Amino acid sequence: MLRPTYPIKTARLNLRPFTRGDLSAFHAIHSHAEVARYLYWEPHTRAQSAEALARKTGSDALAEPGQTLALAVELADTKELIGDLTLHWTSAEHDSGEIGVILNPRHHGRGYAAEAARELFKLGFDGLGLHRIFGRCDARNIASASLMEGLGMRREAHLRENERVKGEWTDELVYAMLATEWTRR
């Protein structure tokens, strides 16, 4: 069981559970064409954003495999919501999880994604006791691949045309880190 104490504070960010009051900022992120470009979905309508936010609201703990911890990323000084983090507990048998990071493009290039993702590793490895955490991205998404490499994740696979996304075959990159690698950092 993982139930963090909120907010989780970093030097510049607060990570906290989503609330219904986050809809406008959440929609600004999820309706952005640049955000949806390499993901499975098109830019969200406000109704789609409301549905997605409703699923994330209350996902503030992990009690069993298959659950996802969903955290809002806000700037500590202004309380502006700038991102959406997930830690999905994929398997208890294999002690594994998957991370996801979505950031408002207005805040790219400032190190916020890495700062937030490091907290996901702490939660997964130190809090939940996971053995392995992985992340995946479309191979064309150089920013996501660079983020995972910068976090010290190893590229484990380059899957060629393994999925059809938005009508076209796409390559997928898989990155991972083991608990022992996390500890050595």
3-class SS of residue 134: strand
Domain contains 56: yes
Is the pLDDT at 137 greater than 90? The verdict is yes
pLDDT given for residue 79 in this prediction: 97
Domain contains 17: yes
Average pLDDT estimate for 172-183:
98
Domain contains 67: yes
Domain contains 119: yes
For 87-94, the CB contacts below 8 A with 24+ separation are: 87/62, 87/120, 87/123, 87/124, 87/133, 89/62, 89/64, 89/65, 89/128, 89/130, 90/65, 90/66, 91/65, 92/64, 92/65, 94/131, 94/132
pLDDT given for residue 185 in this prediction: 83
Q: Are 124 and 87 in contact (CB under 8 A)?
A: yes
Domain contains 30: yes
Domain contains 147: no
Is the pLDDT at 159 greater than 90? The verdict is yes
pLDDT > 90 in the chain, percent: 99
Q: For residue range 26-46, list pLDDT tens digits in order.
A: 999 999 999 999 999 999 999
Prediction pTM value: 0.95
CATH number at residue 86: 3.40.630.30
Is the pLDDT at 22 greater than 90? The verdict is yes
Interacting residues of 21 by C-beta distance below 8 A, sequence separation 6+: none
Domain contains 84: yes
Beta bridge partners of 84: 72, 102
Q: For residue range 64-120, list pLDDT tens digits in order.
A: 999 999 999 999 999 999 999 999 999 999 999 999 999 999 999 999 999 999 999
pLDDT given for residue 48 in this prediction: 97
What is the pLDDT of the chain when averaged over all its residues?
Answer: 97
Domain contains 158: no
Is the pLDDT at 158 greater than 90? The verdict is yes
- Which residue segment(s) compose the domain that 81 sits in? 8-134
The tally of domains found in the chain comes to 1
Q: State how far the Cα of 88 lies from the Cα of 99, in Å rounded to an integer.
A: 6
Q: State how far the Cα of 118 lies from the Cα of 113, in Å rounded to an integer.
A: 9
